[in-house]
Structure 1
């Protein structure tokens, strides 16, 4: 061991000794930053220190917690090995050995001597929280009970996984792949927030990734149930000691009320590390007080600036640009450029010191990342100089006053000559601010506000109003924008969304297909102009894909078969070109799968070419299978896969020989839709998908001669359609759905 490495280990050991034992494990794990050898060395030193302390202790303490050795049974679970130790207890890998099932599990056992303590209450809170969380990316509670010694325990899924940062580096995931993996983490955290749970300890060791790429969020040991009537939601002293300071929000460290914004901050730290390999703050030492003071006072470093630095961790591990870039499968010279701009802004907004100035929710953070991935404008904005300057003045009034006098003295000689120029500059800046403010409002209406209400019951008239206002704003701005490509993209997106509300064939709409056709064509004209002006702009080409698809659907519904097939061909050609290049990502593959499906379905339904139609649909199904294996928790992907099954089944069901396969596809697709609805019971899109899944299955059963089951299905679908129509009476599509189901039930 080199002297430098030993000094780093000793620094961590000395700092850990200053903490209560309950807080040491988290601190040491964070300080060692994934260096397993250093972690083992520090833990060994701490264990030796504890043994020395026990040697001179007069009064005996409680029996040691490590008495549960390999082979010992806790209820029906036999211990295999210790896999973790925290402030509240031990975690063991175990196997169930009775006749119910045999599988590996994780058993968490409360420490002895905590029966009347706050730690025991936290243990019970964790058990209570896990019992109420059912999410594919959160480790499940399986069982619970009390040991023969009277210690509470609970049993969870055993996750054979790797901390998310180590997984990303080991698999050389690029930035886009890391962002998509992070979106899955956001989904789990947002689900917890919707169930009034704040995790409070989000960090890589608590987010494991399996070899299959599945995310699992663990350890709700210091999580908190939100109480709307409780203003004292801050952390107790013992909770603060158990936190990992580098991932804790400033309000957690200041013992101020904790809200979901605290988890947003911790997610920001996590994403910062995933994208840059560095920490947001540079700590002068590993002492807890130093870490706390830095987080509470300093500004996080700009990600695009920090990646070019060479740093050494407390354990002597080097972090250099070539190492970081290699782990992200990107050339060193490109990494800073990729981070500069939107990713810088997203990360720094999530890491703002004041909770109310961060993203308002984890969902909003995730939405901004999705906008970045799809090439849309992000909603995060840079911190203003005036705000930061005001905060600086507040912290350093004396120094600023002295500096101000000196600046005034120096400036006196140039005031007169610069006055007129400053007035002109000020007016120009004011106009630019107004322009950007209106643009931000329009985009907030277009993306945030619209998307927040889109799938709520009765939202169609409000959607129309919101999108119309956004379009008016952008239309006016475009007159002064000249060749501003980003503004043109926003305007095209606005036209497309207005078209969706007016008459999109597959979603809730107002029943105005002619108006929708005009809006879609306006969007297409802008986008084709952008592609012609910059053929290498892949994001502009990507925007063509949904535009072609929606025009094709609208023309098909209106009886224009030739027009529908022409746009479907353009859709497939564009998607194939986007997916054919080496840098194509998951989203490009998903576009390709959707395009195969669209083209195949229309070949069968519009052109009557069933064999080629089914062949293209099967291409789509195979591609969706591969995509779902890579991203099993992506709800948009699962939705698209279920629709692919439906459309393939519709073509297969046209001939008797294909109906058995069609029946299996219909049933599988309906099961997937029901799972999506279970995650969001009020989502009108999922409600309608399930209703149509039931209806289409009934129609296929009727073709096979099972009329009794078919009528039951029609009645169930009609009931769902009527409920949707009552919730949103302005929705022409829902009224049409009701009429379709009523017609199916009439004698014929």
Structure 2
């Protein structure tokens, strides 16, 4: 990126936030399109988010079609660049790790530190943009549910809890859609809040059960947060809740307006008078509250309705895990031809 012979050519900026800037880029040798995320490591919180994303994506040993793939990560200090690897003994990498752990800059603040993530390029925007610019489609709904449940089962199998599942963080790749009857590919992205559950204190030979890995940092986005996340004691079942909110909103096209960006976003909620309240927050206040599903449509297939209710259960133990969820959605999609979306 910064060398005598750059490996990538940045074409245009496609996204920007407080966390970093995303560019569409070309690989010089092959002309393949990639996404390049540039993160300025000038604050401990930026470094922590970047390292979380790097640790999660670099911990995955195999690829999944519905999870964003990290091609490589490059660390830049002023004019010097080096490829970053997990567990590296590089002094630059260790300074970033120390910064994340201590919550204060552990390197010369006068130097310009950047992390560059090279990932899949998704040409169809995010799930909000894609769905809300099209008429509701039963076929698309079915495809998206199956892809999302497959991605989540894969992540949980790889001991990764995403912690910020929402339509903004689900990207659409249309480049492989050659026939009109094929649906686009979804890719779960943005792993800045993710947590890789390690086997510390357990038998390292046995896989970690993410549903028994308890976390205490309340993080995520309000409208998709499970009730237990608001309290700060939760497991991977919080991801199941977030996906329940997304699927319910997708099937019924339930949206709200984000107060900061003024954008229309897919997301389910509970009405309390004139206020709209996140489902998780409402369930925290009243765990016995009965959710009105469907809320807009006249009817919904009984199996789908029951599954959404279970995914949004106030008690995380009453929710299916990611593997059961994937199996049940496959059954609903292929064995019940009469369900109404």
Fold conserved (TM > 0.5)?
yes
Number of residues paired by the alignment?
269
Structure 1 residues 354 and 150: CA distance shift in structure 2, 3 A: same
1:253 to 208, 217, 230: 230
Give the CA deviation at 1:236: 3.2
Structure 1 residues 108 and 347: CA distance shift in structure 2, 3 A: same
Residue 68 of structure 2 contacts residue 188 of structure 2 at CA under 8 Å; is this kept in 1?
yes
Report the counterpart of residue 281 of structure 1 in structure 2: 270
Report the counterpart of residue 77 of structure 1 in structure 2: 8
Structure richer in helix, relative to its length: 1
Question: Are 1:370 and 2:330 matched, yes or no?
Answer: yes
The Cα offsets for residues 310-330 of structure 1, whole Å up to 9 and x where unpaired, read as xxxxxxxxxxxxxxxxxxxxx
Give the CA deviation at 1:375: 4.0
Give the CA deviation at 1:170: 4.1
Give the CA deviation at 1:235: 4.6
Give the CA deviation at 1:197: 0.4
Q: Whose radius of gyration is greater, 1 or 2?
A: 1
Residue 143 of structure 1 contacts residue 154 of structure 1 at CA under 8 Å; is this kept in 2?
yes
Question: Are 1:234 and 2:215 matched, yes or no?
Answer: yes
Unaligned runs of 5+ in 2: 79-111, 178-183, 202-211, 255-267
Distance 1:130 1:124 in 2: 10
Residue 213 of structure 2 contacts residue 236 of structure 2 at CA under 8 Å; is this kept in 1?
no
Report the counterpart of residue 292 of structure 2 in structure 1: 302
Question: 1:111-126, aligned counterparts within 5 Å?
Answer: 111-114=40-43, 117-126=44-53
Residue 280 of structure 1 contacts residue 300 of structure 1 at CA under 8 Å; is this kept in 2?
no
Question: Are 1:208 and 2:185 matched, yes or no?
Answer: no
Distance 2:13 2:319 in 1: 39
Report the counterpart of residue 195 of structure 1 in structure 2: 158
Any idea what SS the aligned residue of 2:35 has? strand
Give the CA deviation at 1:140: 1.2
Any idea what SS the aligned residue of 2:125 has? strand
Give the CA deviation at 1:190: 0.8
Residue 109 of structure 1 contacts residue 152 of structure 1 at CA under 8 Å; is this kept in 2?
yes
Residue 342 of structure 1 contacts residue 372 of structure 1 at CA under 8 Å; is this kept in 2?
yes
Any idea what SS the aligned residue of 1:222 has? coil
Report the counterpart of residue 271 of structure 1 in structure 2: 247
The Cα offsets for residues 226-274 of structure 1, whole Å up to 9 and x where unpaired, read as 135588842536xx2xx211012122222113x2211111110010011
Question: 1:279-678, aligned counterparts within 5 Å?
Answer: 279-282=268-271, 284-285=274-275, 293-298=281-286, 299=289, 301-304=291-294, 306-307=295-296, 335-337=297-299, 339=300, 341-359=302-320, 361-375=321-335
Report the counterpart of residue 149 of structure 2 in structure 1: 186
Structure 1 residues 175 and 301: CA distance shift in structure 2, 3 A: farther
Question: 1:154-173, aligned counterparts within 5 Å?
Answer: 154-173=117-136
Distance 1:75 1:236 in 2: 39
Distance 1:139 1:73 in 2: 29
Distance 2:48 2:228 in 1: 23
Distance 1:74 1:343 in 2: 54
Distance 2:136 2:253 in 1: 12
Any idea what SS the aligned residue of 2:309 has? helix
The Cα offsets for residues 432-484 of structure 1, whole Å up to 9 and x where unpaired, read as xxxxxxxxxxxxxxxxxxxxxxxxxxxxxxxxxxxxxxxxxxxxxxxxxxxxx
Residue 106 of structure 1 contacts residue 157 of structure 1 at CA under 8 Å; is this kept in 2?
yes
Give the CA deviation at 1:166: 4.2
Structure 1 residues 204 and 358: CA distance shift in structure 2, 3 A: same
Residue 201 of structure 1 contacts residue 244 of structure 1 at CA under 8 Å; is this kept in 2?
yes
Distance 1:137 1:254 in 2: 30
Structure 1 residues 74 and 267: CA distance shift in structure 2, 3 A: farther
Any idea what SS the aligned residue of 1:151 has? strand
Residue 209 of structure 1 contacts residue 216 of structure 1 at CA under 8 Å; is this kept in 2?
yes
Give the CA deviation at 1:215: 1.6
Report the counterpart of residue 58 of structure 2 in structure 1: 131
Report the counterpart of residue 23 of structure 2 in structure 1: 92
Give the CA deviation at 1:165: 4.5
Structure 1 residues 153 and 370: CA distance shift in structure 2, 3 A: same
Structure 1 residues 286 and 343: CA distance shift in structure 2, 3 A: closer
Structure richer in strand, relative to its length: 2
Residue 164 of structure 1 contacts residue 204 of structure 1 at CA under 8 Å; is this kept in 2?
yes
Structure 1 residues 207 and 105: CA distance shift in structure 2, 3 A: same
Residue 72 of structure 1 contacts residue 78 of structure 1 at CA under 8 Å; is this kept in 2?
no
The Cα offsets for residues 179-230 of structure 1, whole Å up to 9 and x where unpaired, read as 2321111111111111100111111121122332112111111111013558
**TM-score, normalised via structure 1 length:** 0.33
Structure 1 residues 122 and 163: CA distance shift in structure 2, 3 A: closer
Distance 2:8 2:38 in 1: 12
Distance 2:309 2:233 in 1: 21
Distance 1:86 1:193 in 2: 27
Any idea what SS the aligned residue of 2:13 has? strand
